[in-house]
Amino acid sequence: MRNSIRRIGQRLLPITIGLLLTLAGIVTQLAPTEGMARVLQRVNSLVYDLRLAFVDFPHQASSYPIVFVDVDEQSLESQGRWPWSRSTIAELSRRLLEEGSLVIGFDVMFSEPEINPVRQVGEALGPVPESVANRLQQLEHELDADERLAGVLSEGDFVLGFLLHRQNSTTGTPLKGQLPDPAYPKPVSNLPELLVTEMPAATGNLPVLQSAAIAGGFITTIPDPDGLLRKTPAVLTFGDRLYPSLTVAIAQTLLFEDQLTLNTTSVGSATALTSIEIADLEIPTDAKGNLLIPYRKGKPGYQTVSAADVLAGQTGHVDLQNALVIVGSSAIGLGDLVSTPVNPAMPGATVHARVLEGILTENLPYRPDWAPGAELAASVFVGVILSLFLPLMPPIGMIVLAFGAVAAVILANGMLWARQSLDLALATVVLIAMVILLVNLLEQLLRENRGRKRIKKMFGEYVPSAHINAMLRDPKAYNFAGDSREMTVLFSDIRSFTTISETLSASELKTMLNRYFTPITRTIFEHDGTVDKYVGDMVMAFWGAPLKDENHATHAVLAALSMLEITEKLKEDFRRDGLPEINIGIGVNTGTMSVGDMGSNYRRAYTVLGDAVNLGARLESITKFYGARLLVGPATRAQATGICFRLVDRIVVKGKKEAVTVYEPLGREGEVCETEIEACERHHLALDAYYRQQWNAAEKIWQALFAAEPTSQLYRLYLERVASLRRAPPPASWDGTYVHTSK
């Protein structure tokens, strides 16, 4: 009876917590805090991107062909670098008109006048006879590229792009250039607290060009906080006036509509947009006037032609007759590439083309008015179901039910997207489901793992907690049997330890070693290492077992560098407490090692063995020979990333026949000072000359380095070698390898 009551009580707690979490999720959905609103937006953005990746947006072809005229790399090669002369732009525009294009929009701005060569000549000549001045004035007018472009713009339906932004010019003037007529006949102040985004600055086109064009639209984009462009403003305000985007302006021009109709609703004391109308087209927007971009996985709803082909009259593969044209660029250097959920570098003009197709076909994704209610109902349904049934299930059943419920909601969401172009948020329902699942899994895990916690507490002082956690999660995968794998081993030793120990009592020596080993062990654990053993003052550790570590070499070297930093800090503490100064040498090597539970029936240990282990020990022992604190083998150097290394020597250690190259890590990339990097590079140049037996060149460099760093044992060693080799030249087979005769 008691057991039954206990089980019911155990289930009531997660049920209650689940229902409370559901209630909290509903409250958050109705009135989110600023921080939670950012979290929900991020999750919704992620779900939105996944939906774009797996569910294609429904496509409806526009009655008018949409063409992207691309100032691509081919165009830059044929016409020269950007910006092109306005004469070239005029010729491009004229050819588009000749091909029968209906409306031509420019996803570029013409805010600065082009330099007139005749005017420059006149200014250089100074005062001239009146006849010459008149002729120059005539030529200046004839060769004015801006006027030539304006003449072409006045012959067709051209829409020029301009920029509304937040950055004022250096003069502090909010407006530079000329803007087109606004898209709404009244000042926006007539609409109480209109939520449409307001921009404090604007950069328009040259008055002569904007006046010649039939209309204009802003090309401003406002990415989401993560930098991706998922929506774009259909309208923005500047100076109490409302202006259309380039795509909206093109649609207005096509449909002979000078003004937009705004459909609004009241949100408290504010005015929110619901849609805008162009003739009989209704464009759904959010409260701020943004519309979702109809990205597609399949073929785009537009054609592309190079601007070079248009200028050359070679547009046979693209029909420009009755086309809506957007002139833009995909060239990398022109800065018109935007990051989108479907392409990290998408030409901005192609985004305009997709939006234009959506506007003309009235096929844009949107959030309906009833979306918040539907999202709330889904959250309540999923939250209550999971709260009641998850506590009754085993962990696998919990996961299946929770993910099944989320999958069902996502499937319904995808179907509404694919069939009705509806964008419904999923963040709250997904978060509620995942949090309830995690709470139930955690509650069951805590209840079943009390005994395992006792094991972890018992062995946590000797083995990294990550290793223990892995063993507790999956004991069968934690194999103590012998195994051969690539790993990295580290040996560290206190130099002159015998001398130090003779100056201290046994108690003082124990205290000093404990103060040294504690932070050293901590940093090894923090870098995912396993402490193999302590032998007197020596520490042995390894990486890559029992848990596999793809970055074992990097973690080992970073741990070694951290150990050196800790030792430097301990020197000050020991000096203050009257203890001897300590210095350490560290050897690190990577290679194939045997790892496992080894020993006898009386005592066993989880350790590593092999030639690679022995080389690591040898590297530690020869640090004193080179005056280095840390040496690593060639495999460690090859695999460790983000670290600066200095080549020290090519050696054969005692007991081996094969030569190995030894390196000294100098520190993390970006943290090593320029002087040290320069010295390292010069040292490598000296080594290169040394291996080629160019003794004078090598000696000259090392002498300069030694003069700058007279305490360097490495430079002194090489200078001595050069002197010796000059006296007794090496044999023809000499490759610079140094053979160590002691351990």
Question: 171 versus 88: which is more confidently predicted?
Answer: 88
Q: Name which of 88-92, 124-128, 531-535, 727-731 the model is least confident about.
A: 124-128
Query: In the chain, pLDDT over 70 holds for what percent of residues?
Result: 88
d(CA 408, CA 397): 16
CA distances from 34 to 37, 39, 177, 367 (A): 5, 9, 38, 21
d(CA 683, CA 705): 8
Where residue 603 falls among pLDDT bands split at 50, 70, 90? low
Q: Name which of 101-105, 565-569, 577-581, 616-620 the model is least confident about.
A: 577-581
Residue 455 pLDDT > 70, yes or no? no
Judge contact between 110 and 213, C-beta under 8 A. Answer: no
Q: Name which of 135-144, 251-260, 570-579 the model is least confident about.
A: 135-144
Other Cβ atoms within 10 Å of 282 Cβ, number? 16
> Looking at the domain 483-668, which fold is it?
Alpha-Beta Plaits (3.30.70)
Judge contact between 230 and 48, C-beta under 8 A. Answer: yes
Query: Which pTM was predicted?
Result: 0.56
Q: Name which of 28-37, 164-173, 240-249, 376-385 the model is least confident about.
A: 164-173
Where residue 451 falls among pLDDT bands split at 50, 70, 90? very low
Residue 298 pLDDT > 70, yes or no? no
Question: 104 versus 546: which is more confidently predicted?
Answer: 104
pLDDT of residue 743: 65
Residue 239 pLDDT > 90, yes or no? no
Phi, psi of 728 (to 5 degrees): -125, 90
Question: 739 versus 475: which is more confidently predicted?
Answer: 739
| DSSP per-residue codes, 673-718 | -HHHHHHHHHHHHHHHHHHTT-HHHHHHHHHHHHHH-TT-HHHHHH
Q: Which of 390, 50, 70, 359 is nearest to 228 (CA)?
A: 50
Other Cβ atoms within 10 Å of 609 Cβ, number? 15
pLDDT averaged over every residue in the chain: 84
Q: Name which of 233-237, 531-535, 550-554, 635-639 the model is least confident about.
A: 531-535
Query: Which tokens sit at 700?
Result: 């000259």
Tell me which range, 124-128, 478-482, 487-491, is most confidently predicted by mean pLDDT.
Answer: 487-491
Rounded mean pLDDT of 439-464?
62
d(CA 325, CA 313): 16
Other Cβ atoms within 10 Å of 155 Cβ, number? 11
Q: Name which of 41-55, 89-103, 228-242, 280-294 the model is least confident about.
A: 41-55
Residue 468 pLDDT > 80, yes or no? no
**597 torsion bin: left (phi>0), alpha (psi -120 to 50), beta (else):** beta
- Report the length, in residues, of the chain: 743
- Coil, strand or helix at 334: helix
Judge contact between 391 and 436, C-beta under 8 A. Answer: no
Judge contact between 32 and 340, C-beta under 8 A. Answer: no
Q: Which of 230, 208, 211 is nearest to 221 (CA)?
A: 230
Where residue 454 falls among pLDDT bands split at 50, 70, 90? very low
Q: Which of 527, 514, 513 is nearest to 562 (CA)?
A: 527
In a 13 Å sphere around the CA of 476, the CA atoms on its Cβ side amount to 0
- Tracing tokens 């080594």 back to the chain, one arrives at 687
pLDDT of residue 699: 94
| DSSP per-residue codes, 396-442 | HHHHHHHHHHHHHHHHHHHHHHHHH-B----HHHHHHHHHHHHHHHH
Where residue 4 falls among pLDDT bands split at 50, 70, 90? very low
Residues in contact with 163: Cβ distance below 8 Å, sequence separation at least 6, in sequence order: 109, 202, 203, 204, 218, 219, 220
pLDDT of residue 1: 44
Judge contact between 235 and 252, C-beta under 8 A. Answer: no
Residue 28 pLDDT > 90, yes or no? no
Q: Name which of 117-126, 208-217, 264-273, 324-333 the model is least confident about.
A: 117-126
Residue 646 pLDDT > 50, yes or no? yes
Where residue 137 falls among pLDDT bands split at 50, 70, 90? low
713-727 and 695-708 are packed helices; what angle lies between their axes, rounded to 10 degrees? 150
Phi, psi of 490 (to 5 degrees): -130, 135
Residues in contact with 484: Cβ distance below 8 Å, sequence separation at least 6, in sequence order: 592, 593, 594, 595
pLDDT of residue 589: 96
pLDDT of residue 213: 94
All structural domains of the chain with their residue ranges: 2-31+367-448, 66-117+153-361, 483-668, 673-731
Where residue 471 falls among pLDDT bands split at 50, 70, 90? low
